[in-house]
A and B are shown apart, each in its own frame.
Chain A
């Protein structure tokens, strides 16, 4: 006598759990997030350039925001000198970042939603005023 029946049941549960990502996504086309850069302020810019390069910002914006917070609130440093273009920027989420990126819903949220990231910026800060928000 052996417990093949019970063990088979366990194996089926295991396979069910392990293959969950496969069958739960079967036949679903994944929507790729496309952050929009079509705000009025960006449209008026002669050279479309953020504080740092696109690649740097994409990888490090969260770290930069964190450092900006510490620079301004803890060390009293009010401006940030760009490493890529040498310009000085006023350290402010609402007046610098969100001045250009006034479309939180179509910019910040697209990737954050896609990756299920919940930044706690908006626990303290107001988001930009957007139509329909």
Chain B
């Protein structure tokens, strides 16, 4: 149900773009919507992160799959349970670039007996990694449409992506990788009954949206073709803040691609996709385990009003003496 709903959602976006391009609504599709989406993306993400940033930092979490620094003869795991900034940086590096947490993913199965069996499950980590990395490479590669002199690094990346030189225009390996990975991630949600049970439209929609973006991009590059020089003139006019709509026909598929990308940008800050920013703020990853090395004061401690024994005696000295109680000061 959630999958169908999300699929229809993406389909509606595609239809809106096709009809809009036919009905001469290029200004809305090409200028108003992309600018609004980019602004929503940046402002929305910054506001969401600032909201997170205003919450107090929790106490250091020492139970993070690695031996905490303790007695000298117990081997300390400096990456998984770091006490220094360098250890934290290493742990964040493994998390952000290699999805270390997902690498620890396990599966739980109930066998006959009944016997409960745990095992390693790396395939989600693998396809997740393929998905994110190819998406990143594709995003960086697109900078060739947004820079006059395409930086050498981007050209190098592109030539690596195209290094098998299959066909012309050359087949990008990341195009294949992204589409296969997004397919696997979708199948995971519909094939595995336990994952299907917990999947919501908010899980399916980004998958369909990103799948739609990839398919429309692949169609545009390898099959239906667009007037690519016209496209770059248009994208360059967008980023130089003097938008000029293409004068000649550039192909409806471009407007589909652009609207889907705009939808992704606009949807980003309000969805699960903000894990892009959230991963940097995971307290089990970015806090050095210095719970015992340094003193961490509870941020919402208020000054406690105390009444010392000395003050107590001052208050009641006469009465205490009268009652024959010993006092410290006469």
Task: Point out residues on A near B: beta carbons under 8 Å.
Answer: 1-4, 7-8, 10-11, 14-15, 18-22, 24-33, 58-60, 62-63, 65-66, 111, 114-120
Contacts of B147 in A (CB 8 A): 21, 24-25
**Contact of A7 (CB < 8 Å), options: B45, B53, B227:** B53
Contacts of A11 in B (CB 8 A): 46, 49-50
Chain B interface mostly:
helix
Task: Point out residues on B near A: beta carbons under 8 Å.
Answer: 41-42, 45-46, 49-50, 52-57, 143-148, 150, 154-155, 158-159, 165, 167-169, 225-229, 232-233, 236-237, 239-241, 277, 280-281, 297, 299
Contacts of B50 in A (CB 8 A): 7, 11
- B144→A2 contact, CB < 8 A: no
**Contact of B240 (CB < 8 Å), options: A7, A25, A31, A116:** A25
- B168→A65 contact, CB < 8 A: yes
- A15→B42 contact, CB < 8 A: yes
Query: Which chain B residue shows the least CB distance to A67?
Result: B168
- A4→B54 contact, CB < 8 A: yes
| Distance between Cα atoms of A120 and B55 in the complex (Å) | 55
- B228→A62 contact, CB < 8 A: no
- B46→A33 contact, CB < 8 A: no
- B56→A25 contact, CB < 8 A: no
Q: How far is the CB of A22 from chain B (nearest CB, A)?
A: 5
Contacts of B57 in A (CB 8 A): 1-3
Q: How far is the CB of B45 from chain A (nearest CB, A)?
A: 7
- A115→B239 contact, CB < 8 A: no
Contacts of B144 in A (CB 8 A): 115-116
Q: How far is the CB of A55 from chain B (nearest CB, A)?
A: 8
Given contacts A1-B56, A116-B150, contact A26 B240 (CB under 8 A): yes
Contacts of B56 in A (CB 8 A): 1-2
- A22→B241 contact, CB < 8 A: yes
Q: How far is the CB of B82 from chain A (nearest CB, A)?
A: 16
**Contact of B281 (CB < 8 Å), options: A7, A33, A115:** A7
- A2→B299 contact, CB < 8 A: yes
**Contact of A32 (CB < 8 Å), options: B55, B168, B233, B240:** B233
| Distance between Cα atoms of A8 and B226 in the complex (Å) | 41
